[in-house]
A and B are shown apart, each in its own frame.
Chain A
Amino acid sequence: MIRRGAERVLGGLAALGLLLGLYTGFCYAPPDAVQGEVQRIMYLHVPLILVSYLAFFVVFVTSILYLARRCERHDAIAHSSAEIGVLFTALAIAAGSIWGRPTWGTWWTWDARLTTTTILLLIFIGYLMLRALVDDPSRGATFSAVLGIIGFLDVPIIHMSVVWWRTLHQPASVLRPGPSTVAPDMQVALYTNLAAFVVLYGYFLVKRVRLEEARWELSRLRMEGAA
């Protein structure tokens, strides 16, 4: 799919981006007036969440394409993207938890966004488990595609329901700064890290898809050999 050279460039860019992100996050951006240094976790937490939503969106689109065209590549991308999405979501939740502990003294809060993200994590862990349990690869791909589509379509509904549920109990929490509500030099750090993580996602995706495609190629060769 992508040549080795381009893959290396992507990897290099990702490493560079992460270094830049670390710099802007720790040095360039000022500490938060209220929360102090701990707030810097936002430069990790927010990009991770946003990129994982991107990853699940990719799962959604490639799932539809797979059902329509039955092209193995789409399934490979869906599977890989789901894995990366689950990883990033889990890391985002962990980062959020670490952020929350010193900030409000609790490891967990039933904040709307955190709850929605956790439900998303559960849905896509289920997605990966389903794949692992189905023996026939093309059936596994079909089942996962259906789950991927429904899971993603569910997300806005989940989000709305949890938000409505929470607004009766608590106002929007501090963990919810969008890029626009944040000071300009903090925005720089945020965007840099966001870009870095998008590139990192791209790099992981390329590598993982390459592995999946090697697997498909292997079974194709076996098929021809046996015929």
Chain B
Amino acid sequence: MSFVRRVVAIARKDLLAEWRDRESFSAMFFFAFLVLFLFHFALGGDQALIRGASSGLLWLAFTFTSVLGLARSVQGELENDCLDGLLLYPAEREAIYLGKLLGNFLVILVVELVIFPLFAVLYNMDLWSRLPKLLLIAVPGTLGFAAAGTLLSTMTAGLRAREAMLPFLLFPLTIPLILSAVKGTEVVLRGDPFELAMPWLKLMAAFDTVILVASLLTFEYLVEE
């Protein structure tokens, strides 16, 4: 029971700390807006092309923005030795990992919930009616990305080339996840029957399971010195 309380305490602390000065949130929102805005120019102003590529573009926006958030989350712990402090408590390492994961996951999800309407407005698409199904795809996708990202950002946090290393390690590993999320989103946006998205959901579930189990087993080795 205290395990769950610790996980929730860490996530709450992260969200609260973030909400106080909103540094991370703002940076992520503005970056997301910028990325969405740039798509217009990158694709030659062709609205039809953008709508056709919308599932891929959405996930590009989500993942790039997430990397920003993940990096800042660990930075926050490195200031003032807070990560050290966190590890000095009698808390299981798994609880610390899950707590950070939960915090990261929720932050990224909130940003996604803002990106959806932003995209819909900029590119004149109706995403609102499809939102529940879109979330059905977005949640496992985001969970897997946050899980891998929490693990890897812990690894890269102290390194010299950390801004480059986190995406360089994270993206190849999560390609199957991003791929499945894009395909699943495509199914929803085209209005196809949802069963077509099932294989992709299964793949995301497989990825999420593997990454969560592997992270829970190896996190304690990562943080000890």
Q: Please determine if A and B sit in direct contact within the complex, based on CB atoms under 8 angstroms apart.
A: yes
CA distance A146 to B151 in the complex (A): 10
Please indicate the chain A residues that have their CB under 8 angstroms from the CB of B165 in the complex. 126, 129-130, 133
Chain B binder among A74-82, A90-98, A159-167, A219-227: A159-167
For A122, the chain B residues whose CB sits under 8 A away are: 172
> A residues 78-106 with Cβ under 8 Å of B?
none
Assuming A119-B175, A133-B165, is B199 touching A154 (CB within 8 A)?
A: no
Bound CA–CA A130/B151 (angstroms): 14
Give Cα distance in the complex from A154 to B209, angstroms.
11
State the Cβ distance, B140 to closest chain A Cβ, in Å. 13
In the complex, whether B169 has a CB less than 8 A from a CB of chain A is: yes
> Which of under 10, 10 to 19, 20 to 34, or 35 or more describes the interface residues of B?
20 to 34
State whether B175 touches A161 (Cβ < 8 A). Answer: yes
Q: Contacts A133-B165, A134-B159, A162-B179 known; A145 to B172 CB distance under 8 Å?
A: no
Interface residues of A in 149-183 (CB under 8 A from B): 149-151, 153-154, 157-158, 160-162, 164-165
Contact B173 A150 (CB under 8 A): yes
Question: Would you call A215 an interface residue if the criterion is a C-beta within 8 Å of the partner chain's C-beta atoms?
Answer: no
* Shortest distance between the CB of A165 and any CB in chain B (Å): 6
Inter-chain CA distance A139–B215, complex, in Å, is: 17
Inter-chain contact B176/A133, CB cutoff 8 Å: no
In the assembly, what is the distance between CA of A122 and CA of B155, in Å? Answer: 17
A130/B172 in contact, CB under 8 A: no
The interface residues of chain B lying within 8 Å CB-to-CB of A133 are: 159-161, 165
CB neighbours of A146 from chain B (8 A)? 151, 155, 214, 218, 221-222
Given contacts A149-B218, A157-B207, A157-B210, contact A143 B155 (CB under 8 A): yes
Q: Is the CB of B210 within 8 A of A154?
A: yes
Contacts of A150 in B (CB 8 A): 148, 151, 173, 210-211, 214-215, 218
A-B contact pairs, 6 of them (CB 8 A): A67-B221, A123-B173, A149-B218, A150-B215, A151-B173, A162-B179
- The chain A residues found within 8 Å of chain B, CB to CB, are 67, 119, 122-123, 126, 129-130, 133-134, 139, 142-143, 145-147, 149-151, 153-154, 157-158, 160-162, 164-165
Q: Which residues of B contact A (CB under 8 A)?
A: 148, 151, 155-156, 159-161, 165, 168-169, 172-173, 175-176, 179-180, 183, 199-200, 203, 206-207, 210-211, 214-215, 218, 221-222, 225
